[in-house]
């Protein structure tokens, strides 16, 4: 049974709500966020929205037999979101939802509080699909379910960031009386309530739109996540959304975020695909512990390395062109983790260890995350850590491959390792030159803005011209680069 009790929020009644749930003792919890039905291929295309939401409902009815948890952002309009929730209720889909920041958007005549009251009034008699806001709690068997938009504290590194920079958000136009200080207060109220529940209930499922952990790299990222005072306990799973990373996880905080990536009708028809699949959702299953890991394979790292090489320039034209076009795009995407590794390797390795350990701790409140990492990935990560702990950066292939693999963990996306393009020697050369530049000019994490090909100087490596990189307009001279590179076996027989 799903039971609603202890409704303490001002303005809420004390109605008791319950409904039958199939497979009561083996319930699965299925979650997804940021469905953004009115976007296709990252563009606002509201004409497709009805089709996408109907396909979603059809898929859920056919395939999701447990509790469905939706972590916000359905439409750029509160009325359309409300209509969608009513359709879920009409179709007797069992679960919970919270509002995302887009779900509050209107013509600027309604405030956040106005929308919350409206949704609470319109859904208070729901028997199947329930709104979660501060003050409401439900029970699935012995698990207490709570949630809220969650909001943000606008805090990063133990201080509040300047709030003026957030007043140019689209939300400020779409919602009346938009005020970061009010949002921060709503966040504090929610966290106070959540911590009260965590201290009194043995097992808790938390659903929020805003992450309750800090994924920031810079101040303005506080709109996407922030530091929070949510208690660090072992008695809950927390589901979140908002950042539009397909899957982010840290310890018992998990997500399955769709974003603006709904595929076009033509593409789906051409590929014979459906908009939604089992890969679109995250799942928590009420099962036992997943068991001990086998002994790790320390050579597993090199399953993510490729000995790709251009042997003949005249015949390998397409390969040469592909390698040349790559430039420093992959390096730029990894500038944050590499800058930390360059300036604070001990801090970098500790963070990677903490994150991967959290992923391997897979069971809380008798529910296990069923989309965990493959043993191949786990072995590669621990192999990479062992290489980095040696502190020997002169073996460029070993070091760079380890840094790229652990970079996914550092950025809290270890699931993506399975799908990464293997690191080849051309990647190694570019990454290594970027790393040497960061070390030479002492470029820390907060100071790096750009990585690109800038210098006219290049090294002909493996029959391809690899240009010296520019990091924040800082470049090594060709002579300095060669002195550094000659200390690694990477260049032997290559130049």
Q: Is the confidence at residue 290, as pLDDT, over 80?
A: no
| 266: in domain | yes
| 269: in domain | yes
Q: Is the confidence at residue 7, as pLDDT, over 70?
A: no
Instruction: For residues 258 and 193, state if they share a domain.
Output: yes
Q: Is the confidence at residue 24, as pLDDT, over 50?
A: no
Report yes or no: 251 and 363 within 8 Å, Cβ to Cβ: no
Residue 107 belongs to a domain with what CATH number? 3.60.21.10
Residue 3: band (very low, low, confident or very high) from pLDDT cuts 50, 70, 90: low
| 291: in domain | no
Instruction: For residues 379 and 442, state if they share a domain.
Output: yes
Instruction: For residues 404 and 449, state if they share a domain.
Output: yes
Instruction: For residues 307 and 267, state if they share a domain.
Output: no
Instruction: For residues 129 and 210, state if they share a domain.
Output: yes
Instruction: For residues 281 and 380, state if they share a domain.
Output: no
The backbone torsions φ and ψ at residue 185, rounded to the nearest 5 degrees and listed phi first, read -65, -40
Rounded percentage of the chain residues whose pLDDT exceeds 90? 65
| 26: in domain | yes
Question: Mean pLDDT of all residues in the chain?
Answer: 88
Q: Is the confidence at residue 409, as pLDDT, over 80?
A: yes
Of 258, 285, 312, the residue at which a domain comes to its end is 285
Instruction: For residues 169 and 266, state if they share a domain.
Output: yes
Instruction: For residues 281 and 307, state if they share a domain.
Output: no
Q: Which domain holds residue 419?
A: 300-362+370-491
Report yes or no: 466 and 458 within 8 Å, Cβ to Cβ: yes
Task: Return the pLDDT at 309.
Answer: 85
Nearest to 47 by CA among 265, 257, 277, 271: 265
Instruction: For residues 96 and 171, state if they share a domain.
Output: yes
The domain total for the chain is 2
Instruction: For residues 201 and 226, state if they share a domain.
Output: yes
Q: Is the confidence at residue 344, as pLDDT, over 60?
A: yes
Residue 9: band (very low, low, confident or very high) from pLDDT cuts 50, 70, 90: very low
Instruction: For residues 222 and 348, state if they share a domain.
Output: no
Q: In 327-424, which ranges are continuous DSSP H helix?
A: 329-333, 335-343, 345-360, 375-389, 396-410
Task: Return the pLDDT at 11.
Answer: 28
């Amino acid at each position: 049974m799903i039971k609603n009790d202890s409704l303490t929020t001002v303005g809420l009644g004390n109605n008791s709500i319950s409904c039958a749930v199939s497979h009561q003792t083996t319930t699965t919890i299925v979650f997804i966020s940021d469905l953004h039905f009115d976007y296709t291929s990252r563009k606002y295309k509201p004409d497709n929205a009805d089709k996408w939401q109907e396909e979603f409902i059809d898929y859920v009815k056919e395939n999701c037999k447990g509790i469905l948890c939706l972590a916000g952002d359905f439409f750029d309009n509160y009325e359309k979101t409300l209509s969608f929730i009513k359709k879920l209720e009409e179709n007797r889909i069992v679960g919970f939802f919270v509002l995302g920041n887009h779900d509050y958007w209107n013509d600027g005549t309604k405030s956040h509080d106005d929308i919350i009251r409206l949704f609470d009034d319109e859904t208070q008699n729901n028997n199947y699909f329930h709104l979660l806001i501060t003050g409401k709690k439900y029970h699935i068997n012995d698990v207490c379910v709570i949630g809220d938009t969650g909001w943000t504290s606008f805090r990063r590194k133990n201080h509040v960031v300047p709030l003026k920079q957030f007043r140019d958000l689209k939300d400020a136009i779409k919602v009346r009386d938009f005020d970061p200080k009010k949002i921060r207060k709503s966040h504090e109220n929610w966290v106070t309530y959540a911590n009260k529940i965590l201290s009194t209930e043995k097992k808790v499922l938390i659903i929020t739109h805003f992450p309750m952990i800090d994924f920031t790299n810079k101040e303005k990222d506080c709109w996407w996540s922030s530091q929070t005072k949510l208690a660090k306990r072992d008695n809950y799973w927390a589901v979140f959304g908002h950042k539009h990373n397909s899957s982010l996880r840290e310890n018992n905080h998990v997500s399955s975020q769709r974003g603006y990536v709904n595929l076009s009708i033509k593409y789906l028809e051409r590929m014979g695909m459906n908009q939604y699949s089992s890969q679109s959702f995250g799942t928590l299953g009420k099962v036992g512990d997943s068991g001990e890991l086998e002994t790790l394979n320390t050579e597993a790292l090199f399953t993510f390395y490729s000995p790709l090489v251009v042997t003949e320039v005249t015949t390998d034209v397409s390969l040469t062109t592909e390698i040349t076009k790559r430039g420093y795009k992959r390096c730029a995407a990894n500038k944050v983790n590499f800058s930390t590794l360059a300036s604070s390797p001990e801090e970098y390795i500790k963070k990677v260890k903490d994150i991967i350990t959290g992923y391997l701790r897979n069971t809380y409140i008798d529910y296990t995350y069923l989309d965990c990492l493959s043993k191949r990935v786990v072995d590669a990560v621990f192999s990479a850590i062992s290489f980095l702990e040696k502190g020997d950066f002169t073996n460029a292939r070993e070091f760079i491959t380890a840094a790229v693999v652990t970079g996914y963990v550092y950025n809290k996306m270890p699931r993506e390792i399975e799908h990464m393009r293997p690191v080849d020697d051309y990647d190694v050369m570019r990454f290594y030159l970027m790393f040497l530049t960061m070390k030479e000019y002492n470029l820390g994490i907060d100071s790096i803005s750009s990585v690109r090909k800038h210098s006219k100087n290049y090294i002909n490596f493996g029959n391809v011209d690899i240009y010296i990189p520019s990091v924040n307009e800082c470049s090594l001279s060709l002579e300095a680069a060669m002195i550094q590179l000659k200390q690694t076996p990477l260049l032997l027989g290559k130049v």
